[in-house]
């Protein structure tokens, strides 16, 4: 099994990587480029799992060399699980990339990293509702302290590809319920702040 850590630059992927791999790490350049990536191993239910810290990217439509490398690494590792690391304080920004990866048919776990920062900014995220909409595990994490990491690791083997049509249907259903809730005076957003 192989796990790819993907997300925007500066969302804490390297801290994730270091926490999950410990000292079993090496840095390399992607062939033919000067773009660095990290590769290491972690134990998952007694099995050695390869973990790759993919260069940061904002989307699967690359705008620079690092993003091109990220897209190539994703395409070359079709059998991988993707841990999509999002900044919980800017979750809407990261969801676009997560949805692109889900749409490509990869099994995904969404890590809402910097959960502590989101809480400090009074940003509320209904994790259960977001998980329902996306159809993939969503785990709040704080990489620096390790909060949420046991749950995240336990979800890696549980995840499976989902159809984007299912995500659209779930989002429509939640939106309709939110509209009905507003008419009745209730609040039903997945993210508020």
pLDDT for 188 equals 46
How does residue 178 score in pLDDT terms, banded at 50, 70 and 90?
confident
Please give the CATH architecture assigned to the domain spanning 2-192: 3-Layer(aba) Sandwich (3.40)
Q: Is the pLDDT of residue 69 over 70?
A: yes
- The residue-averaged pLDDT of 85-106 equals 95
Which comes out higher in pLDDT, residue 182 or 147?
A: 147
Q: Please provide the DSSP assignment of 115-154 as one string.
A: HHHHHHTT-EE-HHHHHHHHSS-EEE-BTTTTBTHHHHHH
pLDDT tens by residue, 3-60: 999 999 999 888 889 889 986 566 665 666 657 888 999 989 889 999 999 999 999 9
pLDDT tens by residue, 119-157: 999 999 999 999 999 999 999 999 989 999 999 999 998
The answer for residues whose C-beta is within 8 angstroms of residue 70's C-beta and 6 or more apart is: 6, 54, 55, 56, 57, 62
pLDDT for 23 equals 63
Which comes out higher in pLDDT, residue 185 or 149?
A: 149
Q: Is the pLDDT of residue 93 over 60?
A: yes
């Amino acid at each position: 099994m192989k796990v790819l850590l993907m997300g925007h630059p500066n969302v804490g992927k390297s801290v994730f990587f270091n926490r999950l791999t410990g000292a079993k790490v090496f840095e390399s350049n992607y062939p033919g480029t000067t773009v660095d990536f990290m590769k290491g191993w972690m134990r998952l239910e007694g099995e050695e799992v390869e973990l790759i810290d993919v260069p940061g990217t904002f989307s699967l439509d690359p705008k620079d060399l690092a993003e091109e490398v990220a897209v190539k690494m994703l395409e070359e590792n079709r059998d991988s699980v993707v841990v999509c690391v999002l900044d919980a304080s800017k979750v809407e920004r990261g969801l676009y990339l997560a949805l692109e990866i889900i749409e490509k048919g990869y099994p995904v776990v969404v890590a809402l990293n910097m959960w502590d920062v989101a809480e400090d900014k009074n940003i509320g995220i209904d994790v259960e509702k977001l998980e329902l909409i996306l159809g993939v595990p969503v785990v709040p994490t704080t990489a620096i302290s390790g909060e949420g990491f046991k749950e995240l690791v336990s979800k890696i083997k549980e995840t499976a590809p989902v159809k984007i049509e299912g995500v659209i249907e779930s989002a429509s259903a939640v939106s309709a319920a939110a509209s009905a809730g507003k008419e009745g005076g209730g609040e039903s957003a997945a993210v508020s702040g």
